[in-house]
Amino acid sequence: MDVFFQILASGLTLGAVYAISTVGLALVFGAMNMLNMSHGALMALGGYMAWFTMTGLGLPPVAGMLVAVLVCAGVGVLIYLLIAGPMLRSEGFETRVFIATIGFGAMLESVILMAFGPQPKPQPLAVQGGLSVAQVHLPVQNLLILALAMVLMAALALLLQKSRIGRAIRATAQNRDAARLMGVRVGMVYALVLAISGGLAAVSGITVSSLSSLLPNMGGDPMLKAFIICVVAGLGRVPGSVVAALFIGLFEAVVQYTVGVRFSFASLLLLVIVVLIWKPQGVFGRHQGVRL
């Protein structure tokens, strides 16, 4: 029984970390058919910005989080202005923006490497200590990550479903021309979506580095997993990707406990293959196009 709860707890934490990194990616793909390959670099940037604000400038954790989110949201807008926006009307947008963001991500990573060096750094935005509930040991950090993920997902769902700007985002995702005919300024929507995604990448980078450490290329693996989760859920399905993230976190925790850590990535890929044979559009995907 204790083992069961231990696996459940670590699986959910893993899932929560994945969920934060995945929804940003799914949101951008759902709204504008864009695979943002610089998402991993944005995660690293967020992690380092929190480190810089707290360790470098000596400011409190709240400031660290805020600076990281704002800087990465700003870089998200920059990606719109410099890359996605100018390409939007061109033919083959999906391929071009895919390649361009690989380049942008590599540049961003190099800048981080030059600014902060190649040695791993500890993430200061982390909480020590643990809670023991009925023989189950839970690090406070993990509980915080879980709570943070839940709050962020709820806020995003509220934004998308209830607010005027959320309606504009969904409308743009479902039919760009129709949204324009309703008076939606789709350029603003795209910039905003990339800003939100950037902010989420920052939070994600902080959580990931708080569980391991800061490295300029720390975003690579989480981004790869986020893509896997997006594909499993069906590209662009935002709520579906949260469910898939939690499921895959649990799956990984079970595999790690039963067959061993070194098999976890291989079994994840096996799962993806099975899912894609069973449902090529992803579990929550649909045949035509992309929907939020």
Partner 1 sequence: MSDDLVISDLAAGYGHQSVLHDLTLRAQAGRLTAIIGPNGHGKTTLLRAISGLIAVRTGEIRLGADRISGLPAEAVVARGIVHVPQGDLLFPDMTVLENLRMGAFLPAAARQEKTVLEEVYTLLPKLRDRENQIARTLSGGERRMVGIGRGLMASGRVLMLDEPSLGLAPIVIEQIYEVIAGLRRAGRSILLVEENAMRAAAIADQVHLLDHGTLNWSGTGAELSGRPELLETYLGV
Residue 232 contacts residue 271 (beta carbons within 8 Å): yes
If one asks whether residue 292 binds partner 1 (CB under 8 A), the answer comes out as yes
Within 10 Å of residue 161's Cβ, how many Cβ atoms? Answer: 11
Q: Is 162 in the site for partner 1 (CB under 8 A)?
A: no
AA identity, residue 139: P
Question: In terms of residues, how long is the chain?
Answer: 292
Q: Which is nearer to partner 1, 55 or 174 (CB)?
A: 174
- The single-letter DSSP state of residue 250 is H
Give the per-residue contact string, 180-219, with partner 1 (x = CB under 8 A; - = no): xxxxxxx---------------------------------
Interaction between residue 131 and partner 1 (CB under 8 A): no
Min separation Cβ 265 and partner 1, Å:
33
Q: How far is the CB of 245 from partner 1 (least distance, A)?
A: 21
Candidate residues 178, 261, 266, 276; the one interacting with partner 1 per rule CB under 8 A: 178
Burial of residue 30, with CB atoms counted within 10 A of its CB: 0-12 exposed, 13-18 middle, 19 or more buried = buried
Is residue 278 near partner 1 by the rule CB under 8 A? Answer: no
As given in the structure block, the two tokens for residue 129 are 């200590």
| Residue 130 neighbours by CB distance under 10 Å | 12
What is the spatial distance between Cα 180 and Cα 170, in angstroms, rounded to a whole number?
A: 12
Which position among 5, 167, 217, 264 is part of the footprint of partner 1 (CB under 8 A)? 167
CB of 292 to partner 1, least distance (A): 7
